[in-house]
Structure 1
């Protein structure tokens, strides 16, 4: 029985990953919704479902060497400094562009007039924002080990970077489903649609950062944390953004379109081969079977 299961996992590693990641997270979130005293803790642990699935499956597929390679991605910090600037700067620049876009389309320039005050508030709150950013990196790493660390390299071996980004974005977005419409009455169907579109498109940016940083989970976790933090901060300080889903999607589309137009849909690399001679950012450890 165990042998048959292992064969199926090796033949369909991504399906095994999706089933395991979803099951771990969704079961914990379901229990959390029914036990108030443990709600926050179980919700937090449930967010690590993708990482837990990746860490369980990787040694079965790629052995101890594959597991060491996966875990080492959390400590890869030596890469082009521009990538750090991009990971921290894109969320801020995106918010500014969103304000400009909103003002131009709606002819409501009131939010844009408060841009200076908003940026000053950002600087005044920098200490707390940095602490929140660091804490957020730990939290979102529970996702990034799975989506970027496990799933993306396997999809890149069969598809171009654009297609792999879209597929990762799709499985990543659907993973959030228990927290969205129709399961959460706080959200509407349009919230779900905009969320799915946004998360699929922004996956292009994650892929670009990931493959140009020698597959650094640290960097994509930094970007993930910075993006989430900026969304929360901007929504709290700029109330009009809470319903500006379409504008947010347009801004993300601009960044994604720039990447695809510059590099093409196949490979998003702008740097030469890595020092460890990994070809084009694809992990040299390949899964047995390699099917979806």
Structure 2
């Protein structure tokens, strides 16, 4: 038997294994919460569950890229020089969206306090906890591998929609723990999927312009971070994000369709 035989459907295998790893870890998160373990234990297990895509990719790596070094692959994803204009653009887009959402929440008088966090110490902790339990653990697999692998066959736009769909469904267990039921759960799930696919399109566009994994990590980080700062009804917040990120994705398609979204690039793994 040829031990270096290459995996035939690497992206599909990655998606399946990511979910196989994630579900038990997520159940463990729930068990830790119910059994009253210390907060730090809960945070560690939750962080590990967020890294399920990285674990899955690392396990499959020898079959996806036989003879290559996993560590070298990871280093390559960060080797390109960061483009200041790209970072400025993605931060501007997300800050503008955040400000619009803040104004909508304030106008609706949904809560007495507009922010969920008031202490700078807690804010800093929340920022880095969010970074560890989301963007750093997810982006190597979903964007660093799966997105670029699909772009060998599909346009960036199609690849980003495919990845956005499966990345969104990967969050299914989280939807079921929101406490929503009936129409609220359907609305939250629908808006979540729209927002996540729109964000995936934005990630693909800017990642293709500046192929450094820091770019999708930044976009992912501030998507999560900003939505967690606003004290409002979660369904409404997700609706606002779905609408505004979709508008941003559409503008990106209109402004830079050739280089960012439609052109299938020649990508080195």
**TM-score by structure 2 length?**
0.80
Question: What residue is the counterpart of 1:231 in the other structure?
Answer: 227
* Ranges in structure 2 where 5+ consecutive residues have no aligned partner: none
Report if the CA contact (8 A) 1:70-1:145 is conserved. no
Aligned equivalents of 1:180, 1:21: Cα separation in 2: 17
Structure 1 residue 96: deviation in Å?
2.1
Indicate the residue corresponding to 2:203 in structure 1. 206
Per-residue CA deviations over 1:58-106 (Å, capped at 9, x if unaligned) read 2322135462453115534622101222333322111223456x49xxx
| Per-residue deviation, residues 165-219 of structure 1 (Å, max 9, x unmatched) | 10010110111111113x65346221111111110111111112211222x2222
2:63 corresponding residue in structure 1? 60
Tell me the number of residue pairs that the alignment of Structure 1 and Structure 2 aligns: 255
Out of 80, 84, 95, the position equivalent to 1:81 is 84
1:149–1:217 CA contact under 8 A, matched in 2? yes
* Segment of structure 1 superposing worse, 66-75 or 189-198: 66-75
SS state at 1:268 partner: helix
CA distance in 2, matches of 1:34, 1:240: 26
Partner of 1:274: none
Asked whether 1:222 is paired with 2:225, we answer: no
RMSD: 3.3
Structure 1 length-normalised TM? 0.74
Q: In the alignment, is the contact (CA less than 8 A) between 2:156 and 2:264 conserved in 1?
A: no
Change (3 A) 1:142 1:64: farther
**Partner-residue secondary structure (3-state), 2:15:** helix
2:159 to 141, 147, 164: 164
Q: Structure 2 CA distance, aligned partners of 1:99 and 1:223?
A: 19
Q: Gaps (5+ residues) in structure 1? A: 112-116, 270-278, 286-292
